[in-house]
Structure 1
């Protein structure tokens, strides 16, 4: 994989990560919050998702996952990095 990636490739990696994430977890709605090229090729995509919806919404439990996609667009790994309350700020 070359060091320079076209914007379409990054977008395709993000969509691929979201698709794999949905298949693994059942969570349909997630937001891409980070994207970077992996040193060994492919992409590492950060996804934020509501894991537990609560009322008020500011108390919902959120999570950030990292989904790794190889240069061929296949899943390499998926892990939850952190859980937090929607209203929480990084300190």
Structure 2
């Protein structure tokens, strides 16, 4: 399975690199685009769950790295919810 990483800029200006075991994230994010924090979380949840399910279909178990990445994204988002109109920018993909 082709894996991919995607770099994001959080509302506080910090950069993070996220992991997906599938290229499905390219269907949910566009480089250079900004997403409201809640929208980014929802898109991440959908894409990373699909990616994990693809791993499960191929190897018989879900992808712990994809599910762990989703937990990290949700934890980061929880710390940024207090900001007014927080947005996440997708910088780009690294294959």
When the two structures are superposed, what TM-score results if normalisation uses the length of structure 2?
0.30
- When you count helix as a share of all residues, which structure comes out higher? 2
> Quick one: higher RCO (CA 8 Å, sep 6+), 1 or 2?
2
- When you count strand as a share of all residues, which structure comes out higher? 1
When the two structures are superposed, what TM-score results if normalisation uses the length of structure 1?
0.31
